[in-house]
Each structure stands twice: as C-alpha cells, then as structure tokens.
Amino acid sequence: MLIDDIEYVIFCHPDLSAVRQFMVDFGLLDVGQQGSSLYLRAYGDAPFSYVTSQGEAAFVGMGFRVASEQALAQLAARFNADIEDCPHPGGGQYFHTVDPDGRRLEFVFGAQRLQTVPCGGAPIAWNDAHAKNRLGRYQRPEYAPSHIQRLGHLAVFSPAPQQMIEWYGENLGMKPSELIHDGNEANVLAAFMHLDKGAEWTDHHTLAIVGAAAPGLDHASFECRDFDDVGMGHMVMKDKQYQHRWGIGRHFHGSQIFDYWTDPAGFHVEHFADGDMVNEDTPPLSYPFGRDTLLQWGPDFPGL
Ligand SMILES: [Fe+2]
C-alpha cells in the first residue's frame, strides 16, 4: 500500500479573513496562520485538512498521507523528487510534484497526529420503522456548524480524463470504483477513483476525475459526523446567508448524503456523510451519463 488517505487540499485566496470565517462556519477549526498561509483542521487527527495562501484565487492541489517511509522513498524515486522536511503543521517528511494537468501533489509521511476533538452526539440511535433504538430519549442535535472529521475527496476537472485515470492508476495505485461514459464505454466522462488498500476498506472515491475543457476543481468534500451534522450544518450556513450550490440529497456514485456550498472566491465545498466503502473485491462498474448518475434523491443539479 502506497497511500493511507488524502489529507489536505491546497488553495490560494485573495481574502484570507473572508475564507477563514467561511470555512469555520462550514465546520473546520482554525489552526493559525504561518506567514501568508492559513491552516484549518478537522475534528479528526490530521494536523490540518485545508491550507490556503494569500494570492489570486486558485485551486493548487492536494496532499496525501503516505503509508510508510518505504512508500515515501518509492514514490519520490518514481517522480525523481527530493524528500525534505515538511514545512506544514505536523512536520514529518515530504516531497512535491505535479500531475500531467499541473496540479500540485504533496506526499507526507510521519506528520504528528493530533488529539481528535470530541464533538458529542454520535452515533445517532435511529428509530427505524422496524427497529427502535432510541427509547425514552429525544433526538436534539446542537445548533452549531458541522463537525467535519476529515477531508474525504476531491473532484477535479481534466481535459484528458482517460489519461488522468491511467496516470493516477500507474503512479499512485488508484483504481476506478465506477465510471461514467457518454453511451460508448470507451468514452469515459468521469471516474470515481479509490485508493488501493488491498482487503482493507477504503472510501468509494478519494479522487473523482471529471472531463472538462480545462483543469480545475469541481469541489473539495469533507466528511461530517453524521446525517444530522450535514442537516444542522446546512441550517447554520443558510442562516449566515452563504451561497448554497446543491443539496441536500443522496448521491448515486458513493451514496453519500451531500450538501454543497460556495466559498467567497467561488470554490465549491461539500459536506457529506454515510459514504460507501470498497476494497479489492469490489467490482468496477460503468454507467452512461444521466440524471441517475448524479443523485438518487434530492433537488436537481443546478442548470440540469
Ligand atoms: Fe463529492
């Protein structure tokens, strides 16, 4: 196994205080500023999940948590890169490179893990019609921003999705869980790629690659504590009059409960809960594009 997980997303924003407030209201915690870079963490043990630097608005790339020191050396040799001390919070060793679309990729091993931040309320004891699990207690989640546990995935645009699928497969060992095609299976429009962790369960997608005219970011997605955490997070963001993009619904690919918001620079970020898990025994699937490939229930995708 080369990679444990995606760990952080890298942006530039012209107004750091505006994006800081937005992301805190969205459910991250401020770690502080180092020079011109602003770091935010989630409630999980990652040193940070989001970094943005002062500058023209840009999606820069992503950071991965490498599985071992050997894997870091192996990956660095593959990319002919030098391993250095990681300058980010948590430290450790790292190197950086770019993919064929020019996205920055950082690979970190040995960063110090943080104490998780308790957020209470979980797990929800559901009173399903056929199984009553919450007896004599009321379900009253706190009115508060979402309690984001971790960065879950990125969905990136690429002008050459097939080439990008192969590149991430060959170089990072990612595998498609599901593909979307244009009616001809050879013409792939989008791919939902998971990390190769063998028999170990991993997210249905850590990286979604979506065909588009130019490289870019569709969204960065953060895992919330649970269903209520997505819904209550929606209320808080709505009350603060942030720009809503799409939701709440349940996706088809990955099955997440989803809700999308747009940050002050126009980048989309997603809250999700209850995503699918896959492993080496999960067969890859392929579907023609259609409304059904976007969601199972919820409001229509804006513009479709
Ligand atoms: Fe997503």
The CATH number of the domain where 230 resides is what?
3.10.180.10
Give the model's pLDDT for residue 113: 98
Average pLDDT on 77-100 reads: 98
For residue range 232-256, what is the model confidence (pLDDT) as tens digits? 999 999 999 999 999 999 999 999 9
Please, is 122 exposed, middle or buried when counting C-beta atoms within 10 Å of its C-beta (0-12, 13-18, 19+)? middle
138 is a domain residue: no
CB atoms within 10 A of CB 246: 21
Query: What is the domain count for the chain?
Result: 1
CA of 99 to the centre of ligand 1 (A): 21
CA of 275 to the centre of ligand 1 (A): 10
CA of 229 to the centre of ligand 1 (A): 16
For residue range 23-80, what is the model confidence (pLDDT) as tens digits? 999 999 999 899 999 999 999 999 999 999 999 999 999 999 999 999 999 999 999 9
CA of 209 to the centre of ligand 1 (A): 11
167 is a domain residue: yes
CA of 136 to the centre of ligand 1 (A): 36
CA of 155 to the centre of ligand 1 (A): 6
253 is a domain residue: yes
126 is a domain residue: no
Cα 248–Cα 158–Cα 19 angle in degrees, nearest 5? 50
Residues 99 and 79 sit within 8 Å (Cβ to Cβ): no
For residues 244 and 121, the model is more confident at 244
Give the model's pLDDT for residue 156: 98
Report the chain's mean pLDDT, rounded to a whole number: 96
Q: How many residues does the chain have?
A: 304
CA of 35 to the centre of ligand 1 (A): 31
Q: What is the rounded CA–CA span in Å between residue 282 and residue 127? A: 30
Average pLDDT on 117-136 reads: 92
159 is a domain residue: yes
CA of 208 to the centre of ligand 1 (A): 8
Give the model's pLDDT for residue 283: 96
For residues 119 and 130, the model is more confident at 130
300 is a domain residue: no
Q: Where does the pLDDT of residue 293 fall: very low under 50, low under 70, confident under 90, or very high at 90 and above?
A: confident
CA of 157 to the centre of ligand 1 (A): 13
CA of 270 to the centre of ligand 1 (A): 6
CA of 34 to the centre of ligand 1 (A): 29
Domain with 34 in it: 3-115+147-294
Q: What is the rounded CA–CA span in Å between residue 71 and residue 289? A: 36
CA of 158 to the centre of ligand 1 (A): 16
CA of 192 to the centre of ligand 1 (A): 10
CA of 221 to the centre of ligand 1 (A): 5
CA of 190 to the centre of ligand 1 (A): 12
CA of 218 to the centre of ligand 1 (A): 9
Q: Where does the pLDDT of residue 266 fall: very low under 50, low under 70, confident under 90, or very high at 90 and above?
A: very high
What's this model's pTM, rounded to 2 decimal places? 0.97
274 is a domain residue: yes
Nearest alpha carbon to residue 154 among 73, 1, 268? 268
Residues 192 and 88 sit within 8 Å (Cβ to Cβ): no
CA of 70 to the centre of ligand 1 (A): 31
Q: Which amino acid is at 190?
A: A
9 is a domain residue: yes
